[in-house]
Each structure stands twice: as C-alpha cells, then as structure tokens.
Amino acid sequence: MVHIPDYRLARERMVKNQLIPRGIKDPRVLDAMGKVPRDRFVEEALVNEAYNDHPLPIGHNQTISQPYIVALMTEALKLTGKEMTLEIGTGSGYQTAILAELSKRVCTIERVRPLMVKARTVLAELGYNNILFKAFDGTLGWKEYEPYDAIIITAGAPKIPQPLLDQLADGGRLIIPVGNRFSQELIKATRKKGNIIQKNLGGCRFVDLVGVHGWKD
C-alpha cells in the first residue's frame, strides 16, 4: 500500500504559527490558507518544504511565493466572494487557488505557457471550476472580462501598468509590488470615483513582471 502524506496538520501549523502571529486576521483568508494544499503546487523534491514560510522555485526562473505574502496580498484585496478577480502571474497556481476560494470568478494570466498548463491541470484535479486561464502578456490585462473588482499582480514592476488601472472597477482594489529589479514596495491601489488612491503595505521582493508595460525580457 502506497503511503500518501497528509499535510493537514502542516497547514494548520502554518496558519497558527506563521500567519496569525504576523497579523493576518481575515477569517476567510485564514480558512482558505488552511484548506488549499500548497504541497500540490511545488516540485516533488521540495514537497517537504511546502509549508515553510519562504518562496520555492517552480522552474522557468519563477517561484511560488511564501505563504505569508500570499495571505497578506489576498487579505489586502478584501474579497467577499462576489468579485471578478484578475490575477497577473499564475505561476504554480497556488495563489490562484486561494483567490478561487474567495472570489466568484478568477481570470488568471501567465506568460510562460508550460507553467499555465501545469497550474491548470493541478487546479482542475483539485476541483476548481471558477477559473479562466490565458497565456499572454499580463501587463496588458484581459479586457474581455473587465471591469475587475480585484486585481493582483504577483511579480515586481517598475510602475503600475496603465491597462490594469484602466480595467479596475470603481471601488476595485489592485495589489502590486513596485520598485526596481531587486526590491519592491507592495502597493495597494483603490479606484474611488475615478481617482486612484495608493497605500504602501511594506517591502517585498518578487520576480520581474515582464511585458510591454513591465520589464523587458
């Protein structure tokens, strides 16, 4: 009989020991983080590190973000379950799964097609049916389904891409790391009656957002 590890306790410890002590309070976010199996989104050789609080490589010079950053960015979006959410940078699909738990629908864009295909397969195996996928330049957004109530960009940019701001609904929230290629500040932008209000949520470090309105490859 093949032994299949059960990581439920590891997820519980992650929430209790990493997320709550660092200030994550939204019960819906904590529930989602405790439910989604991060071990399904990492390389097999790294599965025992899946619930440690640090990023891990997923190939193609990309990473899966540390759990705390995923929770922090998700909490800042203030999702209620009714949102049309746009994710730029599908990556492993882990953040996508968290968003799918908390949104009505998720549109996710990944420029590296093999990563998108792998993430789509894992997410389908886990039963998610409220996610749309696209292999594309994420800095251009996805106009077909605009406006978005929430937009999350999981890569660092020199500035907020204008097409993403243009696709943000009134009252919508956008989260993006902005800075140079070595360090960024996590910025929350909210559209209120046509104006964009920005708030700095603190320092972070992400891979590059590559595209027409991002860094050049």
Runs of H (alpha helix) within 78-196: 94-102, 113-125, 162-166
What's the chain's length in residues? Answer: 217
Distance CA 157, CA 180 (A): 7
Q: What is the CA radius of gyration of the chain?
A: 16
* Token representation of residue 174: 């956008």
Q: Are strands 168-179 and 148-153 parallel, antiparallel or unpaired?
A: parallel
Distance CA 85, CA 152 (A): 8
Tell me the CA distances in angstroms from 98 to 37, 59, 63, one per residue in order.
Answer: 10, 21, 16
- Residue bearing tokens 């899946």: 50
Q: Specify whether 65 is catalytic.
A: yes
Distance CA 38, CA 139 (A): 26
> Burial of 171 by CB count in 10 Å (0-12 exposed, 13-18 middle, 19+ buried)?
exposed
Which listed residue (65, 92, 103, 183) is catalytic?
A: 65
Give me the active site residues, please: 65
